[in-house]
């Protein structure tokens, strides 16, 4: 079976691409398209060409198996030049996703029609690249420049509605796509073929000053990632110079970026995210069907988990301690869903039906039909035992019971349950309905069905599920505790909180460790430290600065004072009082302070992450270094374009 098939119906030719699963622009597809156009060109009975795809999607990207191989002719830019130069008008008929090279092919066509559910985008920057087959040159000749810049430098696809509104497509298909494309063909069949996009003027053109602002804005947003800025510059060159020069420049930059460290790092994390949940022991294990989800506790995490469950299409029941807490939990879920409504992610009807799928109760008996329950009550073993005792009593024997605990021993929780083989950990990140990461914790007794059910649940929630073993803090919190300790050592040895934070931000973290602690509030970890104080090894170095802050009622951003002082707009300002406290502590301990530059600060942090990561691997807590990178990038702000701490420090 060929991947490109040419058929004709009267005076219309159909080029059908059939290269499952995503109709990638593999060599056979590229060659097939060129061959089809050679044939079409010689057939005078053909008046219009429709390029359409079989299967679930239009062309949704490049063939990953060709990555790293020498390019094989015909390369995509030449294929697109060939198709756009055809004397007959070509219509791209789009369903599913038109992404990357797929959208570039569609831009080479003279018309575009898409199903209403289609998504169109140029996501190359997500892999550290820019479009390499004319995207930066053709798109701003079809849609307003600011839309082209947003699509190319942001990498996010747009909906068919948006595409229609900005002129990226000519029509939305109502009814079957093939028929709609054929109807559309009839409307243009007698018109002269439109000019190729690369011969058209840009839709609009910013002036020099505007360009400087645009490129500076893209750079700020990219926080150290180079591809978005290079993409914006390529768009500018494609507009300001002639298109031939623009295309040559774009291709050169594409090839250069393909070999860059950032692109290698981004590709590493892209593939790691897609393989990290594949546990060999789950091969062939069938998950239990899930319809109803129970959530114990409607606080910060419980309400977020309930929201995520509703958005994924499950019925959700929150169990709380009293009616007041039930009302509060429901109100929080409603607030989250209102956010989705406001951002246009759900319609009013969907909002209403999602809220109707939520129940709250104080009676555990209402979980009798739940298929999976996530516990998110206070972080206290006695409370957890009490809750899991009730779940053991009231839930179906095969309902999967999960704890969202951050630090407690889930093996101990499981040991007190009936059917402990269905007890696991599902460690969500806050806000749980937004954060993509989910650590799936395998207890010693967990069976394959429970784990398979947990992963199926995670998939439905749209989460990146990372399997991990039971230990204090699992993968992410454990690594964070380790590097936090070393940051605190640096404070006593000579660094100041804002210097460490500045180094982290410059490296690419969205915020530094101390600003983050201020944001979360300092009192929770203070309470934990006080609780654990009697068990602390007296020989281990202990930094008490965080305790001193709390003793001075400096609990972080919410009361205006923490590691920083906050102005009336909530902006963090380095506080001389904190600097003095830090310096006095070094004096008290007899430590001679020394300077730390940003490079050394980052190297201390990376070494701490690496060495804890190695321990986690040696103990079998993480399946491999990729799992650690996925956790740190998706849950702890590690810059994605650096690939994760294990990737960066690989020997």
Place of tokens 């089809």: 36
- Rule CB under 6 A: is residue 360 a binding residue for ligand NAD? no
How do 111-115 and 564-566 pair as beta strands? Answer: unpaired
One-character DSSP codes across 322-334: SHHHHHHHHHHHH
| Cβ distance to ligand NAD smaller for residue 142 or 458 | 458
Q: Is-catalytic flag, 281?
A: no
One residue of 406, 421, 453, 499 binding ligand NAD per CB under 6 A: 406
Q: Distance of CA 183 to CAs 54, 189, 428, 476, 516, Å?
A: 19, 10, 49, 55, 57
The single-letter DSSP state of residue 463 is -
Has 240 been annotated as catalytic?
no
518 is a site residue for ligand NAD (CB under 6 A): no
* 366 is an interface residue for ligand NAD by CB under 6 A: no
- Both tokens of 596, joined, read 């730390």
Identify the active-site residue in 124, 273, 320, 492. Answer: 124
Q: Give the integer Cα–Cα distance in Å for 342 and 334.
A: 12
Please state the closest distance from residue 524 (CB atom) to ligand NAD, in A. Answer: 8
Query: What residues contact 429, with CB distance under 8 A and at least 6 apart?
Result: 435, 437, 438, 476, 635
Contact region with ligand NAD (CB under 6 A), list: 128-136, 213-221, 286-294, 300-308: 300-308
Distance between alpha carbon 239 and the CA centroid of its chain, in Å?
31
* Closer residue to ligand NAD, CB minimum distance, 373 or 376: 376
Asked whether position 430 contacts ligand NAD by CB under 6 A, the answer is: yes
CB 97 within 8 Å of CB 157:
yes
Residues 302-321 that bind ligand NAD (CB under 6 A): 302, 319-321
DSSP code for 425: E
The DSSP bridge partners found for residue 17 are 4, 53
Residue 379 near ligand NAD by CB under 6 A: yes
d(CA 65, CA 170): 33
Q: SS3 string of 190-214?
A: CCCCCCCHHHCCCCCCCCHHHHHHH
**Residue window 318-337: x/- pattern of binding to ligand NAD, with contact defined by CB under 6 A:** -xxx---x------------
Work out which of 102, 128, 131, 298 binds ligand NAD, going by CB under 6 A.
298
Taking the least distance from each CB to ligand NAD, the nearer of 67 and 378 is 378
Closest CB to ligand NAD among 431 and 574? 431
Q: How many CB atoms lie within 10 A of CB 175?
A: 9
314: exposed, middle or buried (Cβ count in 10 Å: 0-12, 13-18, 19+): buried
Pick from 297, 473, 562, 635 the residue near ligand NAD by CB under 6 A: 297
Taking the least distance from each CB to ligand NAD, the nearer of 406 and 499 is 406
Stretch that binds ligand NAD, among 63-71, 401-409, 508-516, 575-583 (CB under 6 A): 401-409
Nearer to ligand NAD, 281 or 380 (CB): 380
The Cα 332–Cα 604 span in angstroms is: 40
Does residue 631 touch ligand NAD according to CB under 6 A? no
Minimum distance of ligand NAD from residue 472's CB (angstroms)? 12
Site for ligand NAD in 4-43 (CB under 6 A): none
Among 163, 218, 234, 377, the residue binding ligand NAD under the rule CB under 6 A is 377
Candidate segments 153-161, 376-384, 455-463, 560-568, binder of ligand NAD by CB under 6 A? 376-384
Q: Closest Cα to residue 641, out of 154, 217, 221, 223?
A: 223
Annotated catalytic residue within 104, 115, 375, 488:
104
Q: Which of 76, 83, 114, 296 binds ligand NAD (CB under 6 A)?
A: 296
Q: How far is the CB of 327 from ligand NAD (least distance, A)?
A: 11
Q: Helix, strand or coil for residue 532?
A: helix
In sequence order, the β-bridge partners of residue 120 are 98, 158
- How near is the Cβ of 389 to ligand NAD at its closest, in Å? 10
Q: By rule CB under 6 A, what count of residues binds ligand NAD?
A: 23
Closest CA to 111 of 54, 29, 194, 174: 194
- Segment near ligand NAD (CB under 6 A), from 192-200, 404-412, 509-517, 615-623? 404-412
Would you tell me which residues interact with ligand NAD (CB under 6 A)? 296-302, 319-321, 325, 376-379, 383, 386-387, 404-406, 428, 430
Residues annotated as catalytic (active site), given as ranges:
104, 124
């Amino acid at each position: 079976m060929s991947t490109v098939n040419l058929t004709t119906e009267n005076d219309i030719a159909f080029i059908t691409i059939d290269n499952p699963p995503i109709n990638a622009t593999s060599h056979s597809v590229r060659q097939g398209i060129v061959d089809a156009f050679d044939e079409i060109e010689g057939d005078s009975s053909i008046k219009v060409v429709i390029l359409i795809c079989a299967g679930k999607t239009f062309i949704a990207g490049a063939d990953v198996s060709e990555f790293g191989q020498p390019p094989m002719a015909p390369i995509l830019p030449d294929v697109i030049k060939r198709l756009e130069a055809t004397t007959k008008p070509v219509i791209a008929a789009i369903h599913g996703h038109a992404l990357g090279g797929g959208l570039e092919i569609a831009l080479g066509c003279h018309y575009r029609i898409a199903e209403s559910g289609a998504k169109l985008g140029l996501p190359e920057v997500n892999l550290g690249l820019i479009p390499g087959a004319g995207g930066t040159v053709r798109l701003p000749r079809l849609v307003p420049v600011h839309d082209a810049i947003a699509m190319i430098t942001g990498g996010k696809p747009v909906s068919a509605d948006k595409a229609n509104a900005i002129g990226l497509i000519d029509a939305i298909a109502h009814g079957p796509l093939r028929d709609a494309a054929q109807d559309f063909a009839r409307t243009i069949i007698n018109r002269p073929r439109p000019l190729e996009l690369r011969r058209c003027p840009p839709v609009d053109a910013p002036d020099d000053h505007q360009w400087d602002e645009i490129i500076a804005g893209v750079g700020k947003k990219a926080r150290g990632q180079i591809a978005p800025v290079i993409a914006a510059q390529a768009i500018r060159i494609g507009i300001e110079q002639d298109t031939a020069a623009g295309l040559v420049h774009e291709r050169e930059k594409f090839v250069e970026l393909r070999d860059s460290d950032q692109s290698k790092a981004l590709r590493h994390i892209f593939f790691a995210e897609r393989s990290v949940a594949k546990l060999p022991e789950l091969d062939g294990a069938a998950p239990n069907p899930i319809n109803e989800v129970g959530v114990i506790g409607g606080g910060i995490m419980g309400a977020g988990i309930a929201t995520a469950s509703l958005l994924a299409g499950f019925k959700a029941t929150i169990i709380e301690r009293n009616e007041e807490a039930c009302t509060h939990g429901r109100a929080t879920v409603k607030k989250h869903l209102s956010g989705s409504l406001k951002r246009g992610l759900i319609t009013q009807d969907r909002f209403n039906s999602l809220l109707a799928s939520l129940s709250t109760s104080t009676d555990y008996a209402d979980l009798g039909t739940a298929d999976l329950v996530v516990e998110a009550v206070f972080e206290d073993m006695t409370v957890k035992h009490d809750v899991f005792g009730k779940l053991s009593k009231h839930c179906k024997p095969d309902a999967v019971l999960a704890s969202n605990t951050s630090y407690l021993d889930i093996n101990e929780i499981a040991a007190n349950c009936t059917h402990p083989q269905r007890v696991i950990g599902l460690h969500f990140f806050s806000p749980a309905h937004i954060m993509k990461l989910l650590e799936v914790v395998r207890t010693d007794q967990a069976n394959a069905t429970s784990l398979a059910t947990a992963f199926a649940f995670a998939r439905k929630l749209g989460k990146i599920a990372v399997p991990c073993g039971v230990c204090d803090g699992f993968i992410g919190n454990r690594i964070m505790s380790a590097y936090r300790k070393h940051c605190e050592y640096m404070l006593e040895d000579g660094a100041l909180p804002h210097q460490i934070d500045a180094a982290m931000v410059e490296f690419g973290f969205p915020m530094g460790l101390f600003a983050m602690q201020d944001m979360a509030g300092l009192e929770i970890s203070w309470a934990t430290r006080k609780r654990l104080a009697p068990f602390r090894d007296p020989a281990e170095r202990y930094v008490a600065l965080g305790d001193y802050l709390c003793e001075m009622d400096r609990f972080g951003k919410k009361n205006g004072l923490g590691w920083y002082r906050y102005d009336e707009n909530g902006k963090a300002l380095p506080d001389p009082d904190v600097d003095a406290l830090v310096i006095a502590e070094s004096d008290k301990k007899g430590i001679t302070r020394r300077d730390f530059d940003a490079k050394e600060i980052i190297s201390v942090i990376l070494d701490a992450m690496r060495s804890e990561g190695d321990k986690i691997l040696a103990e079998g807590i993480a399946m491999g270094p990729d799992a650690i990178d996925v956790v740190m990038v998706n849950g702890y702000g590690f810059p994605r374009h650096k690939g994760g701490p294990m990737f960066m420090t690989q020997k």
